[in-house]
Amino acid sequence: MSTLKDYGSFETAWCPGCGNFSILKAVKQALVQCNLAPHDVLFVSGIGQAAKAPHYLHANVFNGLHGRSLPVATGAKLANPHLTVIAESGDGCNYGEGGNHFLAAIRRNIDITLLVHDNRVYGLTKGQASPTSPEGFVSKAQPDGNPSLPFNPVAVATVMQAGFVARGFAGEMAHLTDLICQAIAHKGFSLVDILQPCVSFNRLNTFSWYQEHCRKLENSYDPTNQRGALDVAMMDENRLPIGVIYRNKRPSFKEKAEGSSSERAFGLQPFNQALFEEVLAHYY
């Protein structure tokens, strides 16, 4: 049995009042709820305010490059299928710099969990529009307002048949904890897009704004129906559904590629000379 204490507590570099704090708490609680020991979990993050999160709990950590947490997580999971691999980063990291990996990870369906702290802004670089910033969002880099439509990660993931697609809110800790638990438990790629207030740079989507606009999905909602899920995922900002939006039972990468991605891959077996001779025999 792991406990919250196992996951420790650290000083952070976040602004007072930031939504990151409750996300961190929810993550820790979820790990305990899933009964995972710190050394069985690997967090992979990118660069940004969100990406610092794994430094603030006890676990294995690979804090890599901006935008590249998913490929590192993918390589790690292939190398060691026993690890619970969680990629955790910001909206800029995952949908901006890392957009291509987001698409590929969904298609590939490797058993990793992606937690996106979605504050709709580039926090660490001081407030430029991110892919999820609202159209018209004004910043020093977008003085005439953000000209692009915001990216809707849950809708795109749903249309691409991602295995598990959820949206959470930093202000709904227990609910969020449960979503993260379910995401970790899901076999295959799972996305939790977490609505996160940024008190320093996002004056539009504040705690109270989210509190007004978020609605939990009803118990009766069926996340296995893709058509219905799309309707929900595409709902406009006035009614931002939170919960498990879509899920399916697509086989994960591992199940499909057993031949090549089995546990044999894991790097600790001794070298097998006989097999190597078999390989060489192709070339006589």
Partner 1 sequence: MVKRNSSKTICIGGEAGQGLVTIGQLLCKALVRSGYHIVITQSYQSRIRGGHNDFFIRTSVDPVAAPSKTTDLLIALDQASISEHGHLMNRDGLVVLDAILDPETHHALKVPFKDLAGDGFLNIAALTIAGALLGLNESLIQKLISDTFHKKDKAILEENLLVFEKALKWVREAAPAFEGLPPASPKGPRRLMLNGNEAIALGAIAAGVRSGFFYPMTPATSIMLTFIKHARTMGIVFEQAEDEIAAVNMAIGASFCGAPSLVATSGGGFALMAEGISLAAMTETPLVIAVAQRPGPATGLPTRTEQGDLLFVLHSGHGEFPRAIFAPGDVEECFSLTQKAFEISEKSQGPAFVLTDQFLADSYRAVLPFDRIDTKPLQSVAHAPDTKTPYQRYALTPDGLSPRLYPGMSHHLVIADSDEHTEDGHITEDLSIRKKMVEKRLKKTALLLSERIPPSFTGDSHPHVLFICWGSAKGAVEEAAERLRTPSLRTATLHFSQVWPLAPDDFLPVIQSAGVVVSVEGNATGQFAGILQRETGLRLEKQITRYDGLPLTPSYILSAFEKIDEGH
Ligand X SMILES: Cc1ncc(C[n+]2csc(CCOP(=O)(O)OP(=O)(O)O)c2C)c(N)n1
Contacts to ligand SF4 by CB under 6 A: 14-15, 18, 20, 49, 119, 123, 198-201
Shortest distance (Å) from residue 186 CB to its own copies: 16
Q: Which is nearer to partner 1, 23 or 232 (CB)?
A: 23
Q: Which is nearer to ligand X, 50 or 86 (CB)?
A: 50
Token pair listed for 155 = 């809708």
Q: Which is nearer to ligand SF4, 131 or 188 (CB)?
A: 131
Shortest distance (Å) from residue 171 CB to partner 1: 20
Indicate the SS3 state at residue 126: coil
Token pair listed for 272 = 């097998």
Which residue of 70, 87, 93, 156 would you call a contact of ligand X, by CB under 6 A? Answer: 93
| Distance of alpha carbon 181 from alpha carbon 114, whole angstroms | 12
**Which residues are near Mg ion by CB under 5 A?**
90-92, 119, 123
**Burial track 188-201 (b if 16+ CB lie within 10 A, e otherwise):** bbbbbbbbbbbebb
What does the CA dihedral 87, 93, 94, 98 come to, rounded to 10 degrees? -110
Binding partner of 199, given ligand SF4, ligand X, Mg ion, none, CB within 5-8 angstroms per partner class? ligand SF4
Binding track over 229-248 against ligand X, x by CB under 6 A = --------------------
Find tokens 């638990």 and name the residue.
Answer: 181
Binding track over 35-64 against ligand X, x by CB under 6 A = ------------xxxx--------------
Q: Which residues contact 152 (CB under 8 A, 6 or more apart)?
A: 233, 234
Q: Which is nearer to partner 1, 29 or 146 (CB)?
A: 146
Indicate the SS3 state at residue 215: strand
